[in-house]
Amino acid sequence: LIKAYILSTGNELLLGTTIDSNSVYLSKKLRELGIKVIGKITVGDTRENLESAFRLAISSAEVVICTGGLGPTFDDLTKEVVCGLMKCKMQINQEIVDNLKAYFISRNRPMPDNNLSQAMFPPEATILPNRFGTAPGMYLPVQQDKKIILLPGPPCEMRNMYVEEVEPRLKEDFNLQQNKSNTRIIKVFGPGESQVDQILAGITKEVDKSNIALLAHDGEVHIRITAEDDQENSSEVLEPIVEAVKVKLKDKIYGYDNDNLVSVVVQLLKERGQCLASAESCTGGLLSKLITDMPGSSEIFWGSVVSYSNQAKMKLLGVSPETLENYGAVSRETAREMAIGIRKVSGADYGLSITGIAGPDGGTKTKPVGLVYIALAADNTCIVKELRSRGNRKSIRIISTKSVLDLLRRQLLAGGISS
């Protein structure tokens, strides 16, 4: 397995205002070749920090790719630093000088002297032409089959040079082939990360740990399974693990790869020719927004009432004033009447409802922030669930929304509800 380290240089990348999209691009492209990116470093344009970053990268990986710092100005140091560390001597390359002169003549501008630094290269390096700028790149083989690759910082120059000049060389030098996708993602809603970890303990012990990773986000746990070897047998490696995970997690798994809870529920409803309407209080339209993010959702979505006031609950959903008076807007009883109410007014197969306290204000001792009731009404039946979420307003709203979608998903799959 070939390992790579990515370096990004530039003071602007350390200010918290610029995203380093180059390293994201390179990670993806290297992974396609089956090269494992083991680390990324971003440093500013000082010699000392550049040197320590290159030292770490070169000692850890076979492929070191650095973007930025190839320009003509005083703070463009990467080539100098690499040649210093590797004890290579730079010489002026006349062909590059001629190219630079031609570039400036074609733009009717005089060439500043400091551009000559861009024509200095060690003789053992392959110089990589830059079709979109003045800074050539460098592909430098060093001891023990390692390669140090320097690319310009501007993304369009970098990407073009990577695809045209670097990728073919890496393929040849390391005898690599472009991978088909060698990752599967299994998506779970409900149990927490540590619970999933425990359920999968037997599997994670058996397989190489670096092949399975858990990622928790917004109430979901994603299990990412990667085949590290060449792609020839990647499905042979992946599928048994996927099957083993399926056996353990059963219906806690809601989908795979590009699925999300909405796309899964929409698909299930389409298959059944059924439709849905919703009534939302604390989520304020988020459920409806997520459903309608999907093109074509009108086929299964009647619409929604965002009953942010008690008045709206009574007027549009038929929640009774007594229920609101006796149990409050955040209660099992109100959630039930909201779900039944929207189902009735819409004539949809399913009515979903959400009512709760998203915070930061409005919580009490008996009804704290994070207390949410969700309900699903179908023909002759209505299921109500109580949720107690931690987190802030945003995460409470997201988790509540996903919970009601998952409630419907499970019922559709269980076939326990018909309409």
Residues 109-168 that bind a second copy (CB under 8 A): 109, 112-115, 131-134, 154, 156, 160
> Binding mask 218-257 vs a second copy (x if CB under 8 A, - otherwise)?
------x---------------------------------
CB 337 within 8 A of CB 317: yes
Q: Nearest distance from residue 21's CB to a second copy, in Å?
A: 8
Please, what is the minimum distance in Å from the beta carbon of residue 31 to a second copy? 6
Q: How far is the CB of 194 from a second copy (least distance, A)?
A: 4
Residues 6+ apart with CB under 8 A from 111: 100, 101, 103, 104
Q: C-beta of 113: minimal distance to a second copy in Å?
A: 8
186 binds a second copy (CB under 8 A): no
Among residues 197, 203, 229, 259, the one that binds a second copy under rule CB under 8 A = 197
Write out the binding residues for a second copy, residues 355-384 only, by CB under 8 A: 359-361
Q: Report the residue number, 89 or 388, with the smaller CB distance to a second copy.
A: 388
Residues 6+ apart with CB under 8 A from 230: 34, 177, 179
Residues from 314 through 353 that contact a second copy (CB under 8 A): 315-316, 345-347
Nearest to 381 by CA among 346, 345, 411: 411
Q: Decide: is 31 part of the binding site for a second copy (CB under 8 A).
A: yes
Facing residues of 280 across strands? 306, 354
* 19 backbone dihedrals φ, ψ, rounded to 5°: -85, 140
Residue count, binding to a second copy (CB under 8 A): 110
Taking CB under 8 A as the rule, does residue 91 contact a second copy? no
- When binding is defined by CB under 8 A, the residue of 119, 286, 374, 378 that contacts a second copy is 286
Strand pairing report for 120-121 and 91-92: antiparallel
**Closest distance of CB 175 from a second copy, Å:** 22
Q: Does 291 bind a second copy (CB under 8 A)?
A: yes
Stretch that binds a second copy, among 107-115, 143-151, 239-247, 258-266 (CB under 8 A): 107-115
CA distance 370 to 80: 57
User: Which residue from 385, 387, 367, 366 is spatially nearest to 376, judged by alpha carbons?
Assistant: 385
Identify the helix (H) or strand (E) that includes residue 137: strand 137-142
Alpha-helical (H) ranges within 107-233 are: 155-161, 167-174, 193-199, 201-206
User: Where are the strands (E) in 143-291, listed by range?
Assistant: 146-151, 183-189, 212-217, 220-226, 253-256, 276-280
**391 contacts a second copy (rule: CB under 8 A):** yes
Give residue 280's Cα distance to chain centre. 28
Choosing from 1, 59, 168, 236, the residue that interacts with a second copy (CB under 8 A) is 59
The span of 36-44, 119-127, 228-236, 251-259 binding a second copy (CB under 8 A) equals 36-44
